[in-house]
Amino acid sequence: MRTPLFLALFVSVLIACAGVAQRPETPKRPPNIVLIFMDDMGYADIGSFGATAYKTPHLDEMARQGRRFTDFYVTQAVCSASRAGLMTGCYNVRVGIFGALGPRARTGIHRDEVTIAEICKQKGYATACYGKWHLGHHKQFLPMQHGFDDYFGLPYSNDMWPYHPGVMHLPMEKRLKRWPHLPLIAKNEVINAEVSGKDQEQLTTQYTEHAVEFIEKNKERPFFLYLPHSMVHVPLYVSEKFKGKSGAGLFGDVMMEVDWSCGQILKTLRKHGLADNTLVIFTSDNGPWLSYGDHAGSAGPLREGKGTMFDGGCKESTLMWWPGRVPAGSVCRTPAMTIDILPTIAHLIGADLPDHKIDGKNIWPLVAGVKGAKSPQEAYYFYYGRQLQALRSGKWKMHFPHGYRTMDGRPGGTGGKPNGYRQKKIGLALFDLEADVGETKDIKDAHPEVVARLRALGESMREELGDQGRRGKGFRAAGTTSGNEPVEEPPIPPLARNRRGDTLLKAGRFDAAIADFDAYIASEPQAESHHWQRGIAYYYAGRYRDGVRQFELHKKVNPNDVENAVWHFLCKAKLVGVAAARKSVLPVGPDARIPMMTVYDLFAGRATPVQVEDKAKATRGRQAGSALFYCHLYLGLYQEAIGKPKAARHHIRVAAEKHTSPGYMGDIARMHATLMQR
């Protein structure tokens, strides 16, 4: 009799264990993203890509523990153009950013472009940029207006100052007419109007300290950290702790300090247990500035450098690191580009892509080393300025006829002074990059079918983005200081305007959202129900009187909308105070959503916060989660209205993090929580 009993117990244990094994894991929070972006670093400037004159142990560790990308490109081999592609997921030609924007520029990233930071904002991320921005230095172009919660750094290149070697022979008065003093900015304010060489020595350390502090401050929530170093752009500067330490001159010292910086980031992630939920990306904006010789890096086996669309200018040594998710010690030889980073991050965190067209595609299968993964792109296109100079498809790279600058076998300058370039031309040429990484052997005559296919792809891209004097249908102008309005913009369908308005509102760009809602309502007679969205945008933009008007218009369409009445109250309270606002609360009918009627009574002065919370907690079944969400969201807004910021922050945080609604108001809650942390 004991054996059957034993078997029964054994089977029961197996069943229980199986139940435990099949139980779904508790979902993790979305991954953190750290994006380290070098300036003018050559393909062979880190150990895992060929550097031998100095050591980069932390970057070498990233390579051993992560994945090397041998064929990773930027959109254009120059500062601002490259950063525009990275931040927007678009070829820089599409978004109207060219070259390197200087201190006299009156253009920058347009308010309607969506940055990686704004993608992350959809999911409640903390965001920060520490380093060289270079997408416009006027306030409306700076990071704080484009999705970042914090910013510290230089608005453009560190050589755009009156100590540029090209003006050092002039008296200071004349130098300043060409290059004004270099400013250092924190958030939106200039904190040092005349950056000196001594100040530049501290930049890498300061960027790193800000980055470490940001990680530690936000370790309990998802974050996006963008660290665009000013180095190794000339003039080179390094702190005392690394001067003379590399044995390879000033350039080696600077690379060692950048490597140290990366080590500090990885150390901080490990210290706080964040390594296994953080994707770290390391790459550069373009290749080495070869004319500066011993103050420039090396493109290794690649042809040419910065300022050209040969691979030495636009192919970047790239590392991606995420223990447990990115295969350790692996190599990806499939072509990819910085435009693919934005959609890949959006995929990882479950965010929506922009409503307007972008050029990048999700390359997570390549990053994760999925067996058999292929490039999602048929080809990558290489413009320099407005000229389509080359494209790559698979192993093939074809150059169209164009001029280019070259050292032509001569050495660069010494001690921070450049040697001059020569100008040369290349005709139509086809290279097999698997066999000829240096783009030296033109084989177009042996592969006419490949040439024909790539010519057709090039012509298709010219239709889309243009080529020199030819305008493409997909071009979007950059922002300008005259109101940051586009110079030219193709018409946007009304519904797309409305969707973009939603995206801009949830990203905290309220004035831009209002403009889109205005355009949508003006063009679509059936759009009256969207007065409510426009009213919320007005509330957050501080235009409370306009908000009141929108909510009153919405009531005519939906007279029993409780949320509309609540937002109307919030705007009125800002104008006339809470007591007066209670006297003009919009009347409504019953609302089936628990606990919305109790919320309405709270704002009307007929219920207490405790009663609202008790009503929500008493809710059972499928409505329980949404009841708690609405309870905490509106309790937070109420406490904010009556001047209790601590209680307000608590309720908004709970709504945003613990009882998150997947819908529209869930996004509003996350956006509001972010605003309250600033």
pLDDT tens digits for range 342-373: 999 999 999 999 999 999 999 999 999 999 99
* % of the chain beyond a pLDDT of 90: 64
377 has pLDDT over 50: yes
Give tens-digit pLDDT for 103-113.
999 999 999 99
Report the catalytic residues: 79, 134
Cis check: omega of the bond before 588, within 30 degrees of 0: no
| Dihedral (Cα; 315, 321, 325, 328), 10-degree rounding | 90
The answer to whether residue 19 scores a pLDDT higher than 80 is no
Region 387-480: CATH code: 3.30.1120.10
3-state secondary structure of 359: coil
Domain boundaries, the chain: 34-371, 387-480, 493-581, 590-678
Residue tagged 């309502």 (tokens) = 521
Radius of gyration of the chain, Cα coordinates, nearest whole angstrom? 28
The CATH number given to 34-371 is 3.40.720.10
Q: Is the pLDDT of residue 26 over 60?
A: no
Q: Which residues contact 627 (CB under 8 A, 6 or more apart)?
A: 593, 594, 595, 615, 616, 619
pLDDT above 60 (res 22):
no
Asked if residue 154 lies in contact with residue 132, where contact means CB atoms within 8 angstroms, the answer is yes
Over residues 655-664, mean pLDDT:
65
pLDDT tops 50 at residue 652: yes
Rounded to an integer, the average pLDDT of 318-333 is 98
Segment of 179-188, 538-547, 575-584, 598-607 carrying the highest mean pLDDT: 179-188
pLDDT in tens, 128-187: 999 999 999 999 999 999 999 999 999 999 999 999 988 898 899 989 988 999 999 999
Higher-pLDDT residue of 571, 428:
428
100 vs 4 pLDDT, higher one: 100
Q: For 585-606, what is each residue's pLDDT tens digit?
A: 888 876 555 567 778 888 888 8
Asked if omega into 595 is within 30° of 0 (cis), the reply is: yes
Q: How far apart are CA 21 and CA 651, in angstroms?
A: 35
Instruction: Judge whether residue 8 has pLDDT over 50.
Output: no
Class of domain 493-581: mainly alpha
- Residue 18 pLDDT exceeds 70: no
Residue predicted with more confidence, 519 or 597? 597
Q: Give tens-digit pLDDT for 117-135.
A: 999 999 999 999 999 999 9
What pLDDT is stored for residue 50 in this prediction? 97
